[in-house]
Amino acid sequence: MRLSWLAFSALLTLVSTSSLSSATTIHVPDEQPTIQAGIDAASPGDTVLVACGTYYEHDIEMKSGVYLTSKTGQADCVTVDAQQQSRVLYCNGVDNLASIVGFTITGGLVDSIGMGDNKGGGMYCYSSSPTLRNCSFAGNRAINPYGCGGGMYCTDYSSPTLTDCTFSGNEANNDGGGVFCRYSSSPTLTNCTFSENRVTYFIGSGGGMICLQGTSPTLMGCTFSGNETDWTGGGLSCKIADATITDCTFSGNRVGYAGGGLYVLSGSVVITGCTFSENRATSSSARGGGMHCESASPALDHCVFSGNEVMWGGGGLGSFYSSPALTDCTFSGNRATGPSARGGGIVIIDNPSITLNGCTIAGNETTHQGGALYCLYCSPTLTNCIIAFNQAGEFAVQCYNEEDTPLLACCNLYGNANGDWVGCIADQYAVDGNFSADPLFCDMYNDDFTLCANSPCLPDSNDCGVLIGAHGEGCPDCGSPVERTSWGSIKAMFR
């Protein structure tokens, strides 16, 4: 019996060694004339190595277990140009051992009516989870009226992993200019960039990327810039999706209706360490210049909203029928600019239980009501917050009626146009640790909202004994840098 077991073990070792040694590298075009021919000739575990150059191919079908790479592993080495003939790549049931490394995917076009023929101009993933690294998707389109995912389309439990990939100048008629994910797909994107992608349909969503219908995307260190759509989610749209978004940047994206940088509808979304800057929502009824959430309960931690703009409500953040929880977030220089605009920093409509803890809301503007915050049918709770130097036609904190009064504790309101503890919050001054004193920011003119060493918002300098605002000590003692005046007047001194 012992001899038989030893013989069997030796046989297993021989088979295993034989499998490893049989993995080969197939060279394109030296050994196989095209990329597709190289993949067709490969077995799981093989490498298809593609020499630098441009390859005019389309409808390339990837295979499980195959490592497809350009010679240098960088996107500028190999360009695959479909020349508007069809999509570039297709994955059907491809496993997570398949890899695509170092390619520029361009010239993909899908424009037919069929179920899968109008999705994924650059790449289509069906029940597939390939790994992509150092790939660029540029100038791909899905232009049928139902076209989705100009750069990439993922569906039916597809969970691709993308690292250091870019999506630029892709276009979809319907949704997802850069990427579209649906039906329980869970893509993971790390250090990926979405720029200048767009959706052309007037009610399309997700200029850069859209995830919906039970998806669970994870995004880390990604950048969304210059993407646009006329409806929702200029940069990223999450609809009925459980997303985790960490250390991402949303800048210079444009939307017509809601969520210049990010739009969230339902689902569970956790947003940590993200920056929203210079995004715009441009229609007369637009809301959420930086971000808009609707029927959702996102959690935002250590996020920054700066220089975003909206025509109607919520220069930085719009929240409708939602219960977001904001911790240590900063809103500065956001604007609501229409003739009846509300909420230069934040607008809250019909929110049952929004909370802001340790936030700094400074230097935001609106032409009408609520330079910092506007409330309609809601009673938000603000704890340990700074609201300073905001400008509005009326008050910094504005309530639609008495039932909408926010509850503030350990908050500092100072230097806001038309007064600080006025209007619906007038009776909360000097109650529950609330006060009015110059917060002494280190350099608010350059968006540095850390605190001088003698700031009343530091734990040892206020009655609550806590840090008030989103930032701690950042510079030595300083005097009061400005008089109690409007933020617009402050900025004018430095133009």
Q: Identify the weakest region by mean pLDDT among 113-127, 221-235, 347-361.
A: 113-127
448 and 481 in a single domain? The answer is: yes
Helix (H, G, I), strand (E, B) or coil at 27: strand
Between the two ends of the chain, the Cα-to-Cα distance in Å is 90
User: Percentage of the chain with pLDDT > 90?
Assistant: 86
Average pLDDT, the chain: 92
Q: Which DSSP string corresponds to 58-125?
A: -SEEP-TT-EEEESSSSTTTEEEE-TTSS-SEEEES--TT-EEESEEEE--EE--SSTTTTB-SSEEE
Query: HSE (CB half, 13 Å, CA atoms) of 2?
Result: 0
109 and 86 in a single domain? The answer is: yes
323 and 460 in a single domain? The answer is: yes
Helix (H, G, I), strand (E, B) or coil at 196: coil
CA angle 336, 341, 347 (to 5 degrees): 75
Separation between Cα atoms, residue 389 and residue 372, nearest integer Å: 9
Do the domain assignments include residue 423? yes
345 and 294 in a single domain? The answer is: yes
- What pLDDT is stored for residue 144 in this prediction? 84
Do the domain assignments include residue 80? yes
201 and 314 in a single domain? The answer is: no
Last residue of a domain, one of 235, 261, 293: 235
- What pLDDT is stored for residue 402 in this prediction? 73
46's tokens: 């093989």
Across 285-421, the runs of DSSP E, i.e. the strands, are 291-294, 299-301, 304-306, 309-310, 317-320, 325-327, 330-332, 335-336, 346-349, 355-357, 360-362, 365-366, 373-376, 381-383, 386-388, 397-399, 407-409, 412-414
- What pLDDT is stored for residue 479 in this prediction? 80
Separation between Cα atoms, residue 126 and residue 76, nearest integer Å: 27
416's tokens: 């806001």
* pLDDT surpassing 50 at residue 163: yes
Q: Is the model more confident about 495 or about 255? A: 255
Last residue of a domain, one of 182, 208, 235: 235
CA angle 15, 18, 24 (to 5 degrees): 145
181 and 281 in a single domain? The answer is: no
- What pLDDT is stored for residue 481 in this prediction? 52
Express each pLDDT in 165-220 by its tens digit.
Answer: 999 999 999 999 999 999 999 999 999 999 999 999 999 999 999 999 899 999 99
178 and 33 in a single domain? The answer is: yes
Do the domain assignments include residue 13? no
User: Percentage of the chain with pLDDT > 70?
Assistant: 92
403 and 459 in a single domain? The answer is: yes
- What pLDDT is stored for residue 494 in this prediction? 36
Q: What mean pLDDT is predicted for residues 377-404?
A: 93
- What pLDDT is stored for residue 480 in this prediction? 61
Confidence of residue 61 (pLDDT cuts 50, 70, 90): very high
pTM of structure? 0.92
- What pLDDT is stored for residue 492 in this prediction? 41
Query: How many domains in the chain?
Result: 2
* pLDDT surpassing 80 at residue 21: no
91 and 180 in a single domain? The answer is: yes
Q: Which helix (H) or strand (E) holds 263?
A: strand 262-265
* pLDDT surpassing 60 at residue 379: yes
Q: What mean pLDDT is predicted for residues 257-269?
A: 96
